[in-house]
């Protein structure tokens, strides 16, 4: 049984350039439980049993489970900046969002993940599953899952060093992070499915992405039926 975690809410200054003018000068951070670094399911078992799951039970996820999934995607694993997925030149062009509908102890909404703080910042309130699913060509897995993890990218971060190859490297990195999400889901007894079919502009608006951020990948996650 997961330990019951209390939300620690702290107010800090918004990072420079992290949002449009509509984002308040001060943002409320929702601290996530510290990630587990030594699970009970082997990597080999996760690889052998990972499958795409498109149908989910009407059951919430726990905050610790959500935090673990986000950490697997882009969490800090060494020093104060090295992350769970490899990044060309350690430039980290990816941003991760949580579309939360049913998470114990967390209001429905769209949240941006802050890896350096293992925290969330709410960008929009309410259940946005239908709008996200519509942008994803009506895929029911997105509309049904209690959470969807959205990976976005800022190609200019990588382009300043790698030029024309930056988009390729960013997409590779999104694949690394996405596989981490899928394997972590298996380790937690959850199901997930990678979704790459969506209308970019519509999804960007529906998810309230920041200026240069482009949507790259969606991962609905939940308890399999």
Taking only the tens place, the pLDDT of each residue in 98-152 is 999 999 999 999 999 999 999 999 999 999 999 999 999 999 999 999 999 999 9
Q: Per-residue pLDDT for 4 more than 60?
A: no
- Please state, rounded to an integer, the average pLDDT across all residues of the chain: 90
pLDDT at position 81 = 87
Side-chain half-sphere exposure of 162, counting CA atoms within 13 A = 17
Structure token digits, residue 155 = 């190609």
Please state which of the four CATH numbers 1.10.10.10, 3.40.109.10, 3.40.50.300, 3.40.50.1980 is assigned to the domain occupying 8-222. 3.40.109.10
CA distance 51 to 41: 16
**Residue boundaries of the structural domains of the chain:** 8-222
What's the whole-number mean pLDDT along residues 171-179? 98
| Percent of the chain at pLDDT exceeding 90 | 86
| Direct distance between the N- and C-terminal alpha carbons of the chain, in angstroms, rounded to an integer | 20
Between strands 94-100 and 147-153, the pairing is: antiparallel
Q: Per-residue pLDDT for 22 more than 90?
A: no
Which whole-number Å values give the CA distances from 90 to 51, 83, 133, 173, in the listed order?
30, 9, 32, 11
CA distance 112 to 59: 23
pLDDT at position 18 = 41
pTM equals 0.88
Q: Per-residue pLDDT for 23 more than 60?
A: no
pLDDT bracket for residue 80 (50, 70, 90)? confident
What's the whole-number mean pLDDT along residues 146-160? 98
Which whole-number Å values give the CA distances from 161 to 91, 92, 157, 166, 175, in the listed order?
9, 12, 8, 8, 20
pLDDT bracket for residue 11 (50, 70, 90)? very low
pLDDT bracket for residue 79 (50, 70, 90)? confident
What's the whole-number mean pLDDT along residues 189-203? 98
With beta carbons less than 8 A apart as the criterion, state whether 198 and 178 touch: no
DSSP output for 33-90:
PPPPSS-SS-HHHHHHH--B---B-S-PBPHHHHHHHHHHHH-EEETTTEESS--GGG
Q: Look at residues 185, 48, 52, 33 and name the one whose alpha carbon lies nearest to residue 104.
A: 33
Q: Per-residue pLDDT for 219 more than 70?
A: yes
pLDDT at position 93 = 98
Q: Look at residues 33, 34, 128 and name the one whose alpha carbon lies nearest to residue 77.
A: 34
């Amino acid at each position: 049984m997961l330990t019951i975690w209390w939300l620690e809410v702290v107010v800090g200054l918004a990072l420079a350039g992290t949002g449009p003018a509509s984002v308040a000068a001060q943002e409320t951070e929702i601290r996530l439980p510290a990630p587990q670094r030594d699970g009970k399911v082997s990597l080999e078992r996760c690889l052998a049993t990972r499958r795409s799951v498109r149908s989910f039970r009407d059951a919430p996820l726990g905050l610790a489970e959500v935090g673990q999934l986000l950490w697997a995607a882009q969490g800090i694993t060494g020093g104060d900046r090295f992350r769970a997925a490899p990044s060309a030149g350690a430039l980290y062009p990816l941003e991760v969002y949580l579309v939360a509908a049913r998470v114990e102890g967390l209001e429905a909404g769209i949240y941006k993940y802050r890896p350096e703080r293992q925290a969330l910042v709410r960008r929009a309130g309410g259940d946005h599953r239908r709008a996200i699913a519509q942008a994803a060509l009506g895929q029911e897995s997105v509309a049904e899952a209690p959470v969807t993890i959205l990976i976005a990218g800022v190609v200019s971060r990588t382009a300043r060093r790698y030029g024309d190859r930056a988009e390729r490297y960013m997409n590779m990195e999104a694949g690394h992070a996405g596989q981490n999400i899928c394997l972590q889901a298996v380790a937690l007894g959850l199901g997930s499915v990678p979704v790459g079919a969506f209308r970019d502009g519509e999804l960007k608006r529906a998810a309230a992405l920041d200026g240069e951020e482009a949507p790259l990948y969606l991962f609905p996650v939940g308890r399999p039926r």
